[in-house]
Amino acid sequence: MNKISKNISLLTTILSMFCATGCSDFLEESDPSNFTVENYFTQPAHARSSVNAIYAPMREPLNSGFGGGAWMMPEFATGLAATDLGQAVNSYFIKDLRNTSDNGYGQTYWTSYYRGIANANLSIQKIPTITMNEAEAKALMGEAYFLRAWYYFNLVRMFGSIPLVTEPVDLQSEQLRPAQATPEVVYNQIVQDLQTAEASGLPWTDASGKVSMGAVKSLLSQVYLTMAGFPLQKGASHYQLAAQKSEEVIDSKQFKLFASYNDFHDPSKKNIEENIFMIQFRTQILPSNWQVSIIPYNKNISQYSDETGGIYATGDFVKSYDPADLRAKEKQFFFTKFTNEANRNQEVDLGGYFIYKHFDMVAQTSSANSDLNWPVIRYADVLLTYAEASNEVSGPTAKAYEAVNAIRTRAQLPNLTGLSKDMFREAVWRERWYELCYENITWFDMVRLRKAFNVKTKTFDNYVGHKFSYGPTLTERELLFPIPTSEMRNNTNLRQNNGY
């Protein structure tokens, strides 16, 4: 690596070395001009700060404003999200199934997540060269392997065949313009990374927000569940593995469902109980930045000066909930009215079903500076993963019923009972759609299952040919997002996904 590229690589790492955890020094600032790769990785503190840098790019897709936000990409792709933000053309291209490789949302995901992978590769290579406590080094490596796996898991599901880079790259590297690996090769690397993380001695929980054993096993269960379905179709063997890993999380008894949906957006509930793994934010330092996108367009209900109406639920989806379902009640998962910013005694009709599960009450009504984290893995997802996977292996067992009925009990719905394997399968799918909506999960479920929820019939259509409630029809093209134009231009070894 030449001196210029050394400093560029390290500059990327150092600039993103702000702590992703709840530690007291949330921002670890250093002068990058003083460092090269060789003289930086010399102390245990350098190992910790290099791993902190791997977390940083997770936040980038959540940036939101009048141009929308990249995190909306997999939500509009479900056909269950609406918007009033006219200038956010990237949202409309996806929502109306007219997406192109010029979409900035895809570019944000690709660039930021490969930056996270690059940071992980550097830590994985360099931490073993530092003289430090062996157990601490092993745990830090576990975090790095988990995060690399998490970035690749998202990228391979979004874009299909992608470059698989597992070592730091310089200007002379053969992987400077890497070819694409097949999804199966990428998934095998993901599993290998997570198994390494699983053996790293991480604690079951981490209230500061760092990777924990609970997060590792939970993600591994999701990976196996996805591998069981499309595009790999590994079937029974991987449903068994998904059931096994999710059951280990359940049996650890380290996690539990929140008693109230209000806990979803309570900053005091960060990284504990139901929140197994989250993207970290902190008010006044790194405030959550999606709040402007989940409030209605210029209704004057918020302390934020920007009220963008960037994304909200389609009415057809919310109305498809059981009328008794607590999640669909006002100010549970959604809200349709709120008080006027200038007069909190005056109620405003919002004209739609806005997303309350991500709503920061303090920020919206007083501070305009949010302290909420973004949920990545909730215990509810683990329970539903277990219910689905175990049913595919051995039908609806008592433990599978217990898992899904815990979700339904909180929603004040009756327990499921006496269902056939096929009926139980669709019942669990419905709970996934209703429970995990607008958390960047549903579209991934649609693709692995090749199914889409019909809000009119409350049954599941084949993905290809499913018609959104507002008109457009899914084709095979929409099983992947397009590789960004700039990546295709800069790397002639890449082949664009079909239809783009």
**pLDDT value at position 171?**
80
Mean pLDDT, the chain, integer = 93
Q: Choose the weakest-confidence range: 38-42, 54-58, 363-367, 468-472.
A: 38-42
Q: What is the 3-state secondary structure (H, E, C) of the chain?
A: CCHHHHHHHHHHHHHCCECCCCCCCCECCCCHHHCCHHHHCCCHHHHHHHHHHHHHHHHHHHCCECCECHHHHHHHCCCCEECCCCCCHHHHHHHCCCCCCCCHHHHHHHHHHHHHHHHHHHHHHHHHHCCCCHHHHHHHHHHHHHHHHHHHHHHHHHHCCEECCCCCCCCCCCCCCCCEECHHHHHHHHHHHHHHHHCCCCCCCCCCCCCCHHHHHHHHHHHHHHHHCCCCCCCHHHHHHHHHHHHHHHHHCCCCCCCCHHHHHCHHHCCCCCEEEEECCECCCECECCHHHCCCCCCCCCCCCCCCCCCEECHHHHHCCCCCCHHHCECCCEEEEEECCCCCCCEEEEEEEEECCCCCHHHHHHHCCECCCEEEEEHHHHHHHHHHHHHHHHCCCHHHHHHHHHHHHHCCCCCCCCCCHHHHHHHHHHHHHHHCCCCCCHHHHHHHHCEEEECCCCEEEECCCCECCCCCECCHHHHCCCCCHHHHHHCCCCCCCCCC
pLDDT exceeds 70 at position 331: yes
**Band of pLDDT at residue 145, cut at 50, 70 and 90:** very high
**pLDDT value at position 103?**
98
Q: Choose the weakest-confidence range: 18-32, 120-134, 348-362, 378-392.
A: 18-32
**Band of pLDDT at residue 173, cut at 50, 70 and 90:** confident
pLDDT exceeds 90 at position 223: yes
The rounded percent of the chain whose pLDDT value lies above 90 is: 90
pLDDT in tens, 423-438: 999 999 999 999 999 9
**Band of pLDDT at residue 332, cut at 50, 70 and 90:** very high
pLDDT exceeds 90 at position 391: yes
**pLDDT value at position 252?**
98
**Band of pLDDT at residue 175, cut at 50, 70 and 90:** confident
For range 317-332, the mean pLDDT:
98
pLDDT exceeds 60 at position 453: yes
pLDDT exceeds 50 at position 170: yes
pLDDT exceeds 60 at position 320: yes
**pLDDT value at position 35?**
58
pLDDT exceeds 60 at position 80: yes
**pLDDT value at position 16?**
40
Q: Which domains does the chain have, with CATH numbers?
A: 3-202+481-490 (1.25.40.390), 281-372 (no CATH)
**Band of pLDDT at residue 172, cut at 50, 70 and 90:** confident
pLDDT in tens, 11-47: 344 334 333 333 334 334 444 445 577 778 999 999 9
